[in-house]
Structure 1
Amino acid sequence: MKRLALLLHHAGTAPDLIYPSLRKMEQVETITFFIRSPTNKSLNDIYDKVIGTIGPGIECQNELDMIEKFIAYHKKYKIDGVLTFAEMLLKPVSIISKYLHIKFPSPEIIERVQNKAKQRRRLAEQNVPIPRFFEIHDASQLKCAAQSIGFPSLLKPNFGGGGYGIFEVHNETELNEKYREEQSKYENIILEGESSTFNLEEKMIGTSWHNSELFADYVSVESIIKSGQIHHLTVTDRTQMYKPFRESGFITPSSLRGNYIQKLHEITTAALEALELDNMMTHTEIMFTPDGPKIIEVNARPGGTTPFRIGNASNGQYDVFFQLAKLALGEEIDTKPYFVKYAASKVSLCPEGEWLIKFIDFSRVNDIDSIDLVIPIAQRGQLVSSYRGIEDLLGLYYLSNENVHALLADMYSIDGKLYVQYK
């Protein structure tokens, strides 16, 4: 009997989506170390209902407490591997892996990939194409940043994701205004309680590689790395963003032509090698530009809502959770997914601005042909903001269809079916 530690964070994937895959592990006991949400009652209810159904559950107050409780448990009952699907727990996994003598990127490598400025400096040193950027440590550097990057440009936090805290600025006055707004609003959603610097980066000009304008001008490449060998599982197409810069949906496998896929694989391999990532899954976002593909960012984790993260009709014969559990235990993994149809995930988000939800009804979404699963998130009385990107998503949906164009049409129909009243 082997033991696998699953580290859960309230900002990561919920256990009810992970556990069905871990139940398939033969002769493996799963011990769940988890951190509850301070505000999300519905998620905590899921924790109460699900955690403990496939092995012991141990509640932790924070990341340090989680590491200490892991070590205490390991001293009594030997644990063979550690696994997380939450980016905010990558450093604890790194520390625990070192304690267990398991190969995993060091805390320094994890910090380099999580901090977008450090990541980009490393990629630039290795000649991996990225947008021009200037790291801003305080307001005294705003003028220099403006002179270096020019306008229009994007102001972004160095710890973020899903469109969190991104502003487009067109002149130095706007840059000063939005930087002040960042100082009052920003919360680190990757490393709780830690501050962040900000980047001013060029606004990349996108170009289309698809034959439909319903696709966005960027994609992500989902890869798994084992013992230094990089395996690209799939390229994931994207739907057009919500304004200002909030991701909306994923479709896999990509419908791009093979020569485009090859270019995306090549730039992703170069980025992953430059960042020295190993024994994990990665999610690399890439923009199509007239000068060729450029890396938006590399994430040392699976994509947040990529459609093969759950075991429904969408994922064909490949179960990411199952494969990464095997990777964590040092077992052989499958690196060649087979998708029986096009699969998609979609999020619903509020309009630009800050809104109070007066009423929300998901019932009509279930009538969409391609829908496999509807996960309501937002509730009446909740305050939501476009500033927070997909942190404030209204709902999450998984879809599949053998026809990619029918799938796209159904994805775009969701927002029309979802009924929301705002104040």
Structure 2
Amino acid sequence: MSRKALILLEGSRSNGPLYVQAAQRLGLHPITLSADPARYDYLAAESIETIRVDTDNLDALIRECSRLRTTYDISGITSAQESAYATVGKLCQHFNLPGPNPESIERCCDKFAQRQLLAQAGVPIPAYRVAANAADVERAAAEIGLPVILKPAVGNGSSGVRLCRNVDELTEHTTYLLGGKHIWWSSPRILVEQFAEGPYYSADTMGYEVVGISAAEFGQPPHFVFRECTCPAVLTDDDYKRIADLSLGCLQALGLGWGPTNIEFRWTKLGPVVIEVNPRLSGAPDPQLLQAAYGVDLLTEHIKLVIGEEWDLRRRHSHTAAARKLVADRDGILDWIAGESQAAAVSGVAEVRFYVQPKSPIVRKGDYRDCIGYLIAASPSRARTEAVLQQAADLIGWSITPFPTGEEETISGQQTCPTSGGDST
């Protein structure tokens, strides 16, 4: 009998290793198809079978998967990357495997199209416009009123997203986005969006079931870099239901409902508004946070769905889990980072993970890549969880030597996945 394999299209530094480990726990042989396998250091470190292939070429992927089927029983195909998820859906359709609807994924990944569909369905969202040039941006901001959010119409992880509080910031970020420094996933289009002020929440769903609702805090504006996340969010039953009902409304409006989705909200003076719908599993540490809070392993349950097995989203317990992101306060060379084992030994700590090694260049980008690591704590008590998290965070530290003048631009231009963190958190 052929060995059962799970095809992983591309990878990621956060959820990539977790998908590999979950597949192996389920008795599957993970195979990663990537245009540049060297981007993911865990593949070589764990001796994961990897094949170099142009992942933007659907025909090339079909040929490679067909070749693999002569050796393996391909049980499923999925990805940890949003940019590859529509292609995953097309491959699943070709090979008659369970998978997401690629047309729905593509519409959802286009933030302008997503907002049009949500607005048509009556889902509350911020005012928005789409812009192709600087004049369009200026006009849209004037119509909406400052402050506004500028973001690429296609992208994720808050890359290229900035709060513009005045005309100077608006001009500066427009120039950055359209001036050749930002890497576009598609033709350059900028979404100009009303800044929805209020507490941030996110709902993680699987199928049409809301698995959990979390709260999070960001670092200092104008960027949106997560600093701390807590699950479950402190909500009344009525407020929980409002967010849960809105989440299901988003899935229906966007034609989703197969597999995992992460939906972001701001609770404004007018109530909850939808900021973004992400048609895939949220990146680490969100899945681990849900597992620590409820005992539900979303990665494993997602793979079960992918391979056509029955999933199980029943909660095993009800704890409060909190994650602290480690974010640097400067650019430079990371001299040292320490405290992982000491923090992990604190009772109640569920996980400590560093993304970087000493001597790594740190170039902050104001997005998800600024995180150099995280830690998670959990307990039956919210107060206890917060105390454990702080105790563990106090044991972690690092030192960064600033770049010599001019070197930062060189390093930044060379770096494909820049990161950053903080001296102590």
Conservation of the 8 A alpha-carbon contact between 2:262 and 2:277: yes
Q: 8 Å contact 1:10–1:37 — kept in the other structure? A: no
CA distance in 1, matches of 2:218, 2:388: 14
Separation in 2, partners of 1:237, 1:310: 11
Residues 180-219 of structure 1 correspond to what in structure 2 (within 5 A)? 180-183=175-178, 184-188=180-184, 191=185, 194-206=186-198, 217-219=199-201
- C-alpha separation between the residues in 2 aligned to 1:154 and 1:307? 24
User: 3-state SS of the aligned residue for 1:23?
Assistant: helix
Is the Cα contact below 8 Å between 1:131 and 1:296 reproduced in 2? yes
Cross-structure match for 1:171 = 166
Structure 1 length normalisation: TM-score?
A: 0.83
**Superposition pairs of residues 8-407 of structure 1, within 5 angstroms:** 8-11=9-12, 13=14, 15-25=16-26, 29-35=28-34, 43-44=40-41, 46-52=42-48, 57-64=50-57, 65-74=60-69, 77-183=72-178, 184-188=180-184, 191=185, 194-206=186-198, 217-225=199-207, 230-243=208-221, 244-309=223-288, 314=292, 316-351=294-329, 355-363=331-339, 365-366=343-344, 369-407=347-385
Q: Name the CA distance, whole Å, in 1 between partners of 2:12 and 2:21.
A: 20
Which amino acid is 2:373 matched to? G
C-alpha deviation, 1:275, in angstroms: 0.5
Summarize the Cα distance change of 1:62–1:308 in structure 2 as closer, same or farther, 3 Å threshold. Answer: closer
TM-score normalised to the size of structure 2?
0.83
The one-letter amino acid paired with 1:201 is: E
RMSD of equivalent CA atoms: 2.8
Residue-by-residue CA offset, 1:147-197 (whole Å, 9 max, x unaligned): 221111111122333332222223334322220022333124xx4xx3441
Say whether the 8 Å CA contact 2:321–2:377 is kept in structure 1: yes
**Residue 372 (structure 1) shift:** 2.5
Q: Which residue of 2 aligns with 1:209?
A: none
Aligned residue in 1 for 2:421: none
Indicate if the aligned counterparts of 1:250 and 1:345 stay in contact, CA closer than 8 A: yes
Residue 360 and residue 288 in structure 1: after superposition, are their counterparts in 2 closer, same or farther (change >3 A)?
A: farther
Query: Could you tell me how far 1:24 is from its partner in structure 2?
Result: 3.6
Q: Structure 1: how far apart are the matches of 2:370 and 2:242?
A: 34
Aligned residues: 394
* CA distance in 2 between partners of 1:35 and 1:367 (Å): 36
Task: Return closer, same or farther for 1:51/1:246 CA change in 2, 3 Å cut-off.
Answer: same
- Contact 1:105–1:276 (CA<8 Å) still a contact in 2? no
Greater shift, 15-24 or 154-163, is seen at 15-24
Native 8 Å contact 1:151 1:170 kept in 2: yes
**Distance in 2 of aligned mates of 1:116 and 1:386:** 25
Cα offset for 1:248? 2.0
**1:69 deviation in Å?**
1.2
Distance 1:385 1:166, change over 3 A: farther
How far apart are 1:365 and its partner, in Å? 4.1
SS of the equivalent of 2:172 reads helix
Distance 1:19 1:159, change over 3 A: same
CA displacement 1:49-88 (0-9 Å, x = unmatched): 3244xxx543435343444311322355442322222212
Whether the 8 Å contact between 1:12 and 1:85 is mirrored in structure 2 is: no
Q: Structure 2 CA distance, aligned partners of 1:322 and 1:400?
A: 20
Distance 2:337 2:174 in 1: 36
Structure 1 window deviating more from structure 2 (372-381 vs 408-417): it is 408-417
Q: For the residues of structure 2 that align with 1:316 and 1:267, how far apart are their CA atoms? A: 22
Q: Distance in 1 between matches of 2:358 and 2:241?
A: 46
2:413 corresponding residue in structure 1: none
| CA displacement, residues 249-307 of structure 1 (integer Å, 9 cap, x when unaligned) | 32223332222111110110101110001321111111111101011111111111244
Per-residue deviation at 1:7?
Answer: 0.9
Q: List alignment gaps of at least 5 residues for structure 2.
A: 403-425
Q: Which amino acid aligns with 1:377?
A: Y
Relative distance call for 1:365 and 1:24 in structure 2 (3 A) is closer
CA contact (8 A) 1:33 1:66 kept: no
Tell me the distance in 2 between the aligned counterparts of 1:369 and 1:422: 33
1:220 and 1:284 in contact (8 A); partners too: yes
How far apart in 2 are the matches of 1:231 and 1:76?
36
CA 1:160–1:249 in structure 2 vs 1: closer, same or farther (change >3 Å)? farther
SS of the aligned residue for 1:79 comes to strand
Q: Which runs of no fewer than 5 residues in structure 1 stay unpaired? A: 207-216
Letter in 1 for 2:67: A
| Cα deviation digits, residues 311-362 of structure 1 (max 9, x gap) | 9x826532222211111122221132333522233321223xx611342323
Distance 1:332 1:358 in 2: 45
Q: Tell me if structure 2 keeps the 8 A contact 1:372–1:399.
A: yes
Question: Shift of residue 120 of structure 1?
Answer: 0.9
